[in-house]
A = this chain, B = another copy of it.
Amino acid sequence: MTVDGSRPASTARRGRPGYDQQSVLAVAVAAFNRHGYEATSMGMLAEELGISKSAIYHHVPSKGDLLRLALDHALGGLESVLQDPGAHAGRADARLEFVLRGTIAVLTERLPFVTLLLRLRGNTEIEREALERRRAFDREVAALVDAARHEGSIRKDIDPRTTTRLIFGTINSIVEWYKPGGPLTAGKLSDDVIHMVFDGLHRR
């Protein structure tokens, strides 16, 4: 039986109705996040979908492809933030804030997909490729931090690599607790993170 009501993409399609790749993917990603990718068997997935294990292979060639599709969606979102003009115009300070806000936006909009990405351990080739794309993203942000530091916008008593890692740690940890649709909007969360990271928690 189906755990949630996420059946097909309602747009009229021919043939016997049922799941399509997107809806299978959504359920799969949720399961991967709940139990971990390796710990999620195709049998468990089939049970949650309410179909047989072999039926899954009608929608996707392998378990690894489910992972690849999900990671592509997450990475595509992050990479598009860096391609926005806002990431290349103005002071490094402002560019950095733009990218961080954009990252948080992607993270909340594609929450389950990014969550999956951030929990990879690099066991398979698919995971290692995704991790490399993610590291490339991190490097671009690190360059922004460096620029903002040289510009004099950011304190110099903390090593820039440490700075970058702490920023990413703060932002990436959002996937561990943020619930879209709750009282905390993505916009307010974005403001909160920017305030803490740049101005600190102490009262002025």
> Measuring CB to CB, which residues of chain A are less than 8 angstroms from any residue of chain B?
34-36, 38-39, 119, 121, 123, 152-159, 162-163, 165-174, 176-177, 184, 189, 192-193, 195-204
Contact = CB atoms under 8 A, between A and B. Distances in A.
Contacts of A155: 195, 201-204
Contact of A158 (B165, B174, B192): B192
B192 A166 contact: yes
A155 to B, nearest CB: 5
A39 B121 contact: yes
Contact of A192 (B154, B156, B162, B177): B162
A126 to B, nearest CB: 13
B154 A166 contact: no
Contact of A200 (B38, B197, B203): B197
Given A162-B192, A169-B173, A34 B121 contact: yes
